Amino acid sequence: MTDRTSKKGLGPGTLVHIGEKRTEKVNVRIIDYTHSSLREINLSDQSQCDEFVESDSVTWIDVDGIHDPSIIEGIGQKFNVHILVLEDIMNSESRPKVEFFDNYLFMTLKMIDFDKTSKHLNVEQFSLIIGKNYVITFQELPGDSFDSIRSRIRTSKGKVRTKDSYYLAYLLLDVIIDNYIAVSESYAEQIENLEANVLRKANEFTLHRILSLRKQLLDFKRSIDPLKEAINLIQKELDDNIAKYYRDLYDHIIYESENLVVYREMLVNLLDLYHSSLSFRMNNVMKVLTIITTIFVPLTFIVGVYGMNFASADPVTGASLPYNMPELYNPYGYPIVIGAMILIVAGMFIYFRRKKWL
C-alpha cells in the first residue's frame, strides 16, 4: 500500500501512485469511430495517440491501471493534460469531483460493486477526461461493466455513433450509476433479511453484520454524495441537447443518496431492535428461572425440615420424648409429604397461569 506520506518532500505534480501496490501491465485500448467507420487498437506505443489528438472522429482511450507513471504522463502530454490532473488520476483516494479546463473536462469518481460471496463492498477509482472529440478513461483494475457500450459502438446500435464525446461519457457514467442502484438494492435485501433474523433469533453474528453494513453504507454514501455536485456542475455547462442526459444522471444520484439515508436509519432502528430482542429474551429466561426458584422454595423448606433427623424417642433408654415428629414413624408419612409437595407445585402452577406469568 502506497500512502500519502510517500509524497513527502516531493514537488507539486510529482506522479506517485497512491493506493494498493500493483504490478500488472497497464493496458490501453482505443476505440475510434464515426457514423460510418470504426477502429479498435490495443495501444503498444504512446506515439499512436498522435493521430487522435485532433481527429474529427470520436475517440475512446481506455486505460486499465493507474500505477505506471510513464504511461499516465505520456498520454497526458499527448492531450496537453495538466500535471495536477494526472496526479489526481494516480491517487486512488481522490474525492469525487469535476474540474473544467480550456480544452477538456476532468472528472473522478468511484466505481462500486457488491461481492455477494464475501459480502464486501468493492470500490475502484475511475477518472475521465472529456475533450471535444475524445474521452480518456482511467481504471484501477482490468475488467469493467462497459461491454454493453462497446457492443453498441461496434454494432452502431442506438445513438452513440451519431453523438459526440459528451454523450459517450454520459453512457459510461450511466453504467456506473446503474451499478450504484444495483448495489443499493442488494443492501435493501440484506437489511430485510437481517430484520427477519433479528426477530427470529438474534445472535452475535447478526450484530456484527449490522455494524458491518452500517460502515459499508457510510463508505457508499461518502463515495456518491460528492458526485451530485459534480454532475450538477457538468449539466449547467452543456447545451440543453446533451445536458438533459446529465440531468437524468443527477436525478438518479439524488434518489440513491436519499435511499442510503433511509437504509442507514433502518440499520439504526434494527440495532435498537436487536438490543430490545436480547433484553426480551433475557427477561423471559429470568422469568422462567424465577418461577422455577419460587416453586422449589416451599419444596426445599419441607425437605429441609424432614431432613434434620429429629428422633421421637431416646436412642439409649427408648423412653418417649416430649418433643417429637410423629410423621417420621407414621407408615403413611412419606407418601403424605410427597403428595403435599405435588399439591403445592400444582397449586403454584395454576396460580402462575391465572396470573399469566406462564
Structural domains present in the chain: 4-180+224-249 (3.30.460.20), 279-354 (no CATH)
Q: What is the band of 167 on the pLDDT scale with cuts at 50, 70, 90? A: very high
Nearest to 346 by CA among 292, 277, 295, 288: 295
pLDDT at 313: 60
pLDDT at 349: 85
**What cell does 333 get?**
408419612
Of residues 284 and 239, the one with the higher pLDDT is: 239
Asked if the model's pLDDT at residue 165 lies above 80, the reply is: yes
Say whether 194 sits in a helix, a strand or coil: helix
State residue 105 phi and psi, 5-degree precision: -120, 135
Mean pLDDT, to the nearest integer, of 322-350?
78
Interatomic CA distance for residues 113 and 97, integer angstroms: 20
Mean pLDDT, to the nearest integer, of 123-143?
91
Q: What is the band of 352 on the pLDDT scale with cuts at 50, 70, 90? A: confident
- Provide the β-strand partners of residue 128: 107, 137
C-alpha distances in Å from residue 38, one per residue of 31, 43, 69, 135? 7, 16, 29, 15
Q: What is the band of 281 on the pLDDT scale with cuts at 50, 70, 90? A: confident
CB 64 within 8 A of CB 139: yes
How high does pLDDT run on average in the chain? 84
pLDDT at 244: 92
Range in 43-52, 68-77, 158-167 the model is least confident about: 43-52
284 contacts: CB under 8 Å, gap ≥ 6? none
Asked if the model's pLDDT at residue 136 lies above 90, the reply is: yes
pLDDT at 168: 95
Q: Which residue has the cell 438518479?
A: 252
pLDDT at 163: 92
pLDDT in tens, 2-20: 455 555 556 566 788 887 8
pLDDT in tens, 97-125: 999 998 999 999 999 887 777 777 788 89
pLDDT in tens, 170-192: 999 999 999 999 888 888 888 98
Nearest to 223 by CA among 335, 97, 54: 97
* CB-neighbour burial class of residue 212 (10 A; exposed 0-12, middle 13-18, buried 19+): middle
CB 87 within 8 A of CB 125: no
For the chain, the maximum distance between any two Cα atoms, rounded to a whole number of angstroms, is: 130
Q: Which residue has the cell 483494475?
A: 141
pLDDT in tens, 222-250: 888 888 889 999 998 888 889 999 999 99
Asked if the model's pLDDT at residue 47 lies above 80, the reply is: no
C-alpha distances in Å from residue 213, one per residue of 57, 125, 195? 45, 21, 13
State residue 274 phi and psi, 5-degree precision: -60, -50
Mean pLDDT, to the nearest integer, of 146-150?
92
Say whether 20 sits in a helix, a strand or coil: coil
Nearest to 184 by CA among 232, 223, 145: 223
Nearest to 30 by CA among 52, 14, 12: 52
pLDDT at 61: 93
Interatomic CA distance for residues 41 and 33, integer angstroms: 12
pLDDT at 199: 81
Q: What is the band of 158 on the pLDDT scale with cuts at 50, 70, 90? A: confident
pLDDT in tens, 50-95: 888 888 899 999 999 898 888 899 899 889 999 999 999 999 888 8
Half-sphere exposure (CA, 13 Å, Cβ side) for 209? 18
Interatomic CA distance for residues 53 and 39, integer angstroms: 15
Range in 104-108, 133-137, 303-307, 310-314 the model is least confident about: 310-314
Q: Which residue has the cell 464515426?
A: 34
Q: What is the band of 311 on the pLDDT scale with cuts at 50, 70, 90? A: low
Q: What is the band of 312 on the pLDDT scale with cuts at 50, 70, 90? A: low
Percent of the chain residues topping a pLDDT of 70: 89
State residue 180 phi and psi, 5-degree precision: -60, -45
Highest-pLDDT range among 27-41, 44-58, 292-306: 27-41
| 58-64 vs 97-100, strand pairing mode | unpaired
Q: Quickly count: other Cβ atoms within 10 Å of residue 298's Cβ.
A: 15
Mean pLDDT, to the nearest integer, of 273-277?
83
DSSP secondary structure letters along 1-24: -B-GGGGTTPPTT----BBS---S
CB 324 within 8 A of CB 313: yes
Q: Quickly count: other Cβ atoms within 10 Å of residue 64's Cβ.
A: 18
pTM of the model: 0.76
Interatomic CA distance for residues 29 and 42, integer angstroms: 5
